[in-house]
Amino acid sequence: MRNQFRAGPTWAEVTPKAHFLNRRALISGAAAMSLAGPALAKISARPSALSTDAALNSLEDITSYNNYYEFGTGKEDPAAYAGALTTSPWTVKIDGMVEKPGDYALEDILGKVSLEERIYRFRCVEAWSMVVPWIGFQLSDLLARVGVQPGAKYVAFETLMRPEEMPGQQSGILEWPYREGLRLDEAMHPLTILATGLYGEALPNQNGAPIRLVVPWKYGFKSIKAIVRISLVDKQPPTTWNMINAPEYGFYSNVNPNVDHPRWSQASERPLGGGLFGGRQPTMMFNGYEDQVASLYAGQDLTVDF
């Protein structure tokens, strides 16, 4: 089964009322620390024909179960500790092989783009999944604005380095700052977005505020959070998990049910919200976006160059 699209769905159309009412419980409980401030700001975004019609996860699912090692290795650590992160003011350095390098204030970036709601499947390399109503804009729009120079082949990204507010960075579990990268054609694909919100509000800290990458056909760790630098380069950039363990985490890391992680199968996944021992479902090639992105890898052996 491949990804099914229909023009114009929004989270209000596809989400049961009980799901978005969970927001009230979150705000009244301990998680309010992480959702306070910018996360309560409403965002106006138009619906997108690129959204899936799959059933959404609740706001509680999306904001309380995260991998974000800058705040700890536990799934609950980001919600517990990310509230201390200062996300305003925020600047993104754009450099390398671009016509207009510089330090761009987030307000300036957002002032010149059109925000859309993109309801996307999200698949973690750990074989769990969810469906998220992101708000953001196409990365290609930003790259067009700064001008990509001839010869650029890749886009490199870096996460904020601020150990006094991101306690996980005080550990040596990863080499900081967190780094990721895409091939230029992947970065320019219409499905690739920079997200600044979800569920109609500003992005919560634990989900990568104030700006993160979302590449829905790749495993979740490729969608780097809290971006402070975007560089256009001519060589494949180093990426965090690939540097740590290349045999387990390839540069591309496309969702592929036919290529198992060395320690578990990728043929099926556990949809979040069904409980730890809930039902599993088959994993779709490219996370259900095969029709849209398979042409990017024509002739490439994805069982070797993963």
Task: Write down how long the chain is.
Answer: 306
pLDDT on residue 26: 34
Locate all alpha helices (DSSP H) within 210-296, ordered by sequence. Answer: 240-244, 290-293
Of the ranges 53-67, 190-204, 269-283, which one carries the lowest mean pLDDT score?
Answer: 269-283
Q: Count the neighbouring beta carbons within 10 Å of the beta carbon of residue 189.
A: 21
**130 - beta bridge partners?**
122
pLDDT score of 247 more than 80: yes
Average pLDDT over residues 170-176: 96
CA–CA gap between residue 289 and residue 140 (Å, rounded): 18
* Model-wide pTM > 0.85: yes
The position carrying tokens 């016509």 is 99
Domain residue ranges of the chain, discontinuous segments joined by +? 11-295
Domain 11-295 CATH class label: alpha beta
pLDDT on residue 245: 94
Average pLDDT over residues 145-154: 98
